[in-house]
A = this chain, B = another copy of it.
Amino acid sequence: MKTYKIALLPGDGIGRDVTDAAWSVLEKTAGSGGLSLEATRLTWSCDYYLENGSMMPADGIETLKSFDAILLGAVGWPRKVPDSVSLHGLLLPIRKAFEQYANIRPHRLLPGVQGPLRSDSFDILCIRENTEGEYSGAGGRVHQGTDNEVAIETAIFTRKGVERILRFGFEQARARRGKLASVTKSNAQKYSMVFWDEITRKLSAEYPDVEVTSYHIDAMAARMVMAPESLDVVVASNLFGDILTDLGAAIQGGLGFAASANINPDRSAPSMFEPVHGSAPDIAHLGIANPIAAIWSGAMMLEHLGEAAAAGRIMAAIETTTARGIGATPGKDKTEAITASVLSALD
């Protein structure tokens, strides 16, 4: 029997609620599927910070290295610790240290879910660059506090970084419907985005079977709302992917349905799976967070570990649940009721 070592990082707020839910579904799936999942729960979080002065131990990254995958809930609780500390102390370092350069986020409507659009037949896979670009953290401020103050923030794109995410996008498009949309803003950002466009064009020669189209970010945002059914795989920079995947979450009915995977495609380090939503302190531990995004992220984890059949069973159980109207309407059902329904659909 195959055994996988999973690091559970519930984090903050509803991150804890939904991780518990996802874990119970994963355990049951494993039990009946001939695989074994071994969880190690790590309490790194804003509370941990308040006690220890850091978001994780000094050897946190070292510790995580030994796992097959990481299942994360959510990080952040601004009233306890500023986001600029908590996110830069836990979530972002993991993505970077483990070269989880491909952040994958599927956007489609689950059965029974009514989205905000009149259109309901779309199936988009967004791929976001996860390690560099606009979130490189380079910048500074001069003449601070004076009328003359200037703040700069520098986006840094490397050929290696851009090439590998685009290549990943081409591969995903090849495995799906063969269409890749590459998103930039090269008419206004003539260094970084022109560079990205050039690499897109260069790689396209290697993937003649993939139909690639370049869009500007503004046009793509509009397209996701006006003609989402025209899209297959969408690949974008760290910032643009961040924006488009929240928009993707919106059109799929809300953040309660938006799953994600932070993938290290070379498998040189563990990948991390997390719902797109944040820690939502205002509804933490009230038992009302929708666990579907977290459960779906768990399915993506099994898929990545090579357990496609088990992943498929979870997806089917999620779909049975929402088709029954359970967990399909934001705010209607309790975390426990939704989880129970997914668990029973697994039988």
Contact = CB atoms under 8 A, between A and B. Distances in A.
A239 to B, nearest CB: 7
B154 A154 contact: yes
A246 B187 CA distance: 15
Interface stretch (A27-35, A133-141, A263-271, A290-298): A133-141
A226 B116 contact: yes
Nearest to A254: B226
A152 interface: yes
B159 A149 contact: yes
Q: How many copies does the complex hold?
A: 2
A243 B226 contact: no
A135 B218 contact: no
Interface residues of A, number: 64
Contacts of A217: 239, 242-243
A40 interface: no
B189 A135 contact: yes
Interface stretch (A190-198, A203-211, A310-318, A336-344): A190-198
Contacts of A243: 217-218, 221, 243
A154 B157 contact: no
A146 interface: yes
A148 B188 CA distance: 24
| Most-contacted residue by chain B among A88, A154, A238, A254 (CB, 10 A) | A154
Contact of A250 (B87, B221, B242): B221
Interface string A211-231: 000000111011101100000
Interface string A26-68: 0000000000000000000000000000000000000000000
- Most B CB within 10 A of own CB, among A139, A141, A217, A245: A139
Contact of A192 (B83, B118, B139, B247): B139
A99 B152 CA distance: 20
Nearest to A238: B188
Contacts of A246: 218-219, 221-222
A186 interface: yes
A239 B185 contact: yes
Interface of A: 76, 83-84, 87-88, 92, 116-119, 134-135, 137-141, 146-160, 185-195, 217-219, 221-223, 225-226, 238-239, 242-247, 249-251, 254-255
Given A153-B154, A218-B247, 16 more contacts: A83-B187, A88-B190, A92-B188, A116-B117, A118-B118, A147-B159, A149-B195, A152-B157, A217-B239, A218-B242, A218-B246, A221-B246, A222-B250, A226-B250, A243-B243, A247-B247
